[in-house]
Amino acid sequence: MAETGEPAHDVRAAMHDPRVFDAGGELVDRTGLDDVEIDQIVRVMQSLREWHDAARRMSEASSRYMKLNETDMRALRFLIAARNQGEIATPGALSDYLGISSASITKLLDRLERGDHITRAPHPSDRRALAITVTDETRAVARESVGRLHARRFAAAAALAPAEREVVIRFLDALSATELELELEHEG
């Protein structure tokens, strides 16, 4: 409650409400939308923010638990996926996936090997390359933490009807495209 006895305005929802952050209508086109529709859109954006915050907290907790940074965690997920698919992971493939230099990959692999998260061995068919494998212990820890979370997320998506999943896919793809559009605007 505010000091006046009135309910405090929900600042978190207001951050997503164009009637608050763009009262003059300079950024957000609200043509044809009534207040009920705008309220619903604000709830969608707030739910998306809450999901993002929950995903970030879980990622941070997993990183702290395994004593690894986010890039290390992404590398381990890649290595686990490669192993699960019967593919041989190489430093080059990992570098491509993470978008970092070969020097940075070497440092990352050194860190992961010192922590007993990976092993490096000669590639079975390319004598110039190394094969990188996640250790069984790290794979088991990741499965119990991150894997269980992904299973719950999969269940949430599975609970949707096929048509609802298509709507969600279309919405998330459109959100992803807004970032690319913004990058292109800043480059041009």
**Amino acid at site 152:** R
Over the chain, what is the mean pLDDT? Answer: 85
Strand partners, 122: 130
Question: pLDDT of 76-125, one tens digit each?
Answer: 999 999 999 999 999 999 999 999 999 999 999 999 999 999 999 999 99
Rounded-to-integer distance, Cα 68 and Cα 62, Å: 8
Structure tokens, 34? 């009534």
- Put residue 67 in one of left, alpha, beta given phi > 0 → left and psi -120 to 50 → alpha: left
- H or E element: which one contains 111? helix 102-114
User: What number is the average pLDDT over the span 39-45?
Assistant: 88
Rounded-to-integer distance, Cα 177 and Cα 171, Å: 10
User: What number is the average pLDDT over the span 21-48?
Assistant: 86
What percent of the chain is predicted at pLDDT more than 90? 45
Separation of CA 146 from chain center:
12
How do the domains of the chain map onto residue ranges?
1-66, 68-134
Whole-structure pTM value:
0.67
Q: Is the per-residue pLDDT at 8 higher than 60? A: no
pLDDT of residue 19: 84
Residues 21 and 42: beta-carbon distance below 8 Å? no
Rounded-to-integer distance, Cα 55 and Cα 35, Å: 30
User: What number is the average pLDDT over the span 127-131?
Assistant: 91
Q: Is the per-residue pLDDT at 182 higher than 50? A: yes
Q: What CATH class has 68-134?
A: mainly alpha
Q: Which of 88, 92, 91 is nearest to 125 (CA)?
A: 88
Rounded-to-integer distance, Cα 103 and Cα 107, Å: 7
